[in-house]
């Protein structure tokens, strides 16, 4: 077992449970014409309507706190749901306004989208400490935008599997890295149009894989950053698997479950690896363009 400077005393690893409440924006951000597809829209609405309450029940029963990332568009239409989650002790995170990838926007577009979401959360009255890009598709400007607005962390980049700092002209922010292998999208997302995936894994197999990842994280002193979506994991057998996964983490005894904000706050004075955040410079013609 590795001990690393960033780990809380006595901890072999840390777990963050995060839920991206994309709802309709999960498909509208891929293509506005998704709005013509009634079944697909209801498939997404299941998330806030059924998935979130079910997940809140499980978290409450196990007495753990999580982070719910909301696109501003979704929060604007469900302020009561946002408030209910926050009042149960969970964190609300910033997940852009429209869920459209920041990497497809100009910096100005990204700032306006970012600020529009902040304004929604301000009106609802929930504090915002951190950000996750839609589809994790941060731009090369995203960390600076976050730092300029005084948020303390991002959770979109994958340069490490432990927390690290990302340098910006306005000071560094903490990166709490997610990864594709700890996301339920790649396990459960199936929708032909917009095509968001063709994945229907057995929740028992997903549970088995993620339990092993928790155990491996304990060996290497890693951050188990779970990204789940209520429209996916809110389905019955998947919700049961989530509950069993949390039970496994709790049973380990040395893997504290923290909200992303709690973790970022604990790290504010800790020395972490610092990464530059700059677009690679490419020699003209070396790599193909399609």
Interface of this chain with a copy of itself, residues 118 to 137, rule: CB under 8 A: 133, 135-137
Q: With respect to a copy of itself, which residue has the nearer C-beta, 209 or 265?
A: 209
One of 106, 122, 127, 140 touching a copy of itself (CB under 8 A):
140
Rg (CA), the chain: 18
- CA 277, CA 220: separation in Å to the nearest integer? 25
Query: 189 with 20: CB under 8 angstroms?
Result: no
Please tell me whether residue 3 binds a copy of itself under the rule CB under 8 A.
no
**Site size for a copy of itself, by CB under 8 A?**
83
One of 87, 198, 268, 269 touching a copy of itself (CB under 8 A):
198
Q: In the structure encoding, which two tokens stand for residue 213, read together?
A: 């990842």
- CA 258, CA 92: separation in Å to the nearest integer? 13
Please tell me whether residue 19 binds a copy of itself under the rule CB under 8 A.
no
One of 5, 35, 253, 274 touching a copy of itself (CB under 8 A):
35
- CA 72, CA 23: separation in Å to the nearest integer? 11
Binding span for a copy of itself by CB under 8 A among 145-153, 216-224, 245-253, 258-266? 216-224
Binding span for a copy of itself by CB under 8 A among 36-44, 79-87, 122-130, 249-257? 36-44
Please tell me whether residue 94 binds a copy of itself under the rule CB under 8 A.
no
Min dist CB 247 to a copy of itself, Å, is 15
Sign of the C-alpha dihedral, residues 31, 33, 35, 38? negative
Buried b (16+ CB within 10 A) or exposed e, 234-243: bbeebbebbb
- CA 263, CA 18: separation in Å to the nearest integer? 13
One of 12, 14, 21, 24 touching a copy of itself (CB under 8 A):
24
- CA 22, CA 135: separation in Å to the nearest integer? 10
Q: With respect to a copy of itself, which residue has the nearer C-beta, 157 or 226?
A: 157
Please tell me whether residue 172 binds a copy of itself under the rule CB under 8 A.
no
Q: Is 70 helix (H, G, I), strand (E, B) or coil?
A: strand
Please tell me whether residue 248 binds a copy of itself under the rule CB under 8 A.
no
One of 111, 115, 148, 215 touching a copy of itself (CB under 8 A):
215
Look at residues 186, 183, 182, 165 and name the one whose alpha carbon lies nearest to residue 174.
Answer: 165
Min dist CB 124 to a copy of itself, Å, is 19
Min dist CB 244 to a copy of itself, Å, is 11
Look at residues 277, 41, 86, 11 and name the one whose alpha carbon lies nearest to residue 164.
Answer: 277
Please tell me whether residue 43 binds a copy of itself under the rule CB under 8 A.
yes
Please tell me whether residue 53 binds a copy of itself under the rule CB under 8 A.
no
Please tell me whether residue 37 binds a copy of itself under the rule CB under 8 A.
yes
One of 38, 108, 169, 268 touching a copy of itself (CB under 8 A):
38
One of 3, 104, 125, 274 touching a copy of itself (CB under 8 A):
104
- CA 172, CA 68: separation in Å to the nearest integer? 23
Q: With respect to a copy of itself, which residue has the nearer C-beta, 19 or 269?
A: 19
């Amino acid at each position: 077992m590795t001990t690393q400077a960033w780990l809380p005393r006595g901890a072999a690893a840390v777990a963050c449970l995060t839920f991206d409440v994309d709802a309709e924006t999960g498909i509208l951000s891929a293509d506005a014409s998704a709005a013509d597809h009634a079944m697909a829209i209801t498939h997404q609405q299941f998330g806030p309507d059924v998935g979130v309450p079910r997940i809140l029940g499980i978290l409450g029963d196990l007495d753990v706190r999580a982070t719910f990332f909301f696109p501003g568009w979704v929060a604007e239409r469900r302020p009561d749901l946002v408030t209910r989650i926050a009042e149960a002790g969970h964190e609300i995170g910033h997940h852009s306004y429209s869920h459209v990838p920041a990497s497809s926007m100009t910096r100005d577009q990204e700032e306006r989208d970012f600020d529009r979401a902040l304004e929604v959360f301000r009106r609802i009255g929930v504090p915002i400490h951190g950000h996750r890009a839609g589809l994790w598709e941060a731009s090369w400007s995203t960390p600076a935008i976050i730092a300029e607005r005084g948020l303390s962390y991002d959770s979109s980049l994958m340069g490490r599997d432990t927390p690290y700092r990302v340098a910006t002209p306005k000071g560094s922010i903490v990166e709490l890295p997610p990864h594709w292998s700890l996301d339920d999208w790649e396990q459960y997302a199936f929708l032909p149009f917009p095509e968001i995936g063709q994945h229907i894994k057995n929740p028992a197999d997903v549970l088995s894989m993620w339990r092993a990842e928790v155990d491996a994280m304990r060996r290497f002193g890693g951050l188990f950053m779970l990204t789940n979506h209520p429209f996916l994991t809110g389905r019955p057998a998947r919700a049961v698997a989530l509950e069993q996964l949390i039970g496994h983490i709790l049973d380990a005894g040395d893997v504290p479950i923290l909200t992303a904000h709690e973790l970022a706050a604990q790290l504010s004075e800790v020395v972490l690896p610092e990464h530059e955040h700059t677009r690679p410079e490419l020699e003209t013609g070396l790599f193909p363009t399609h």
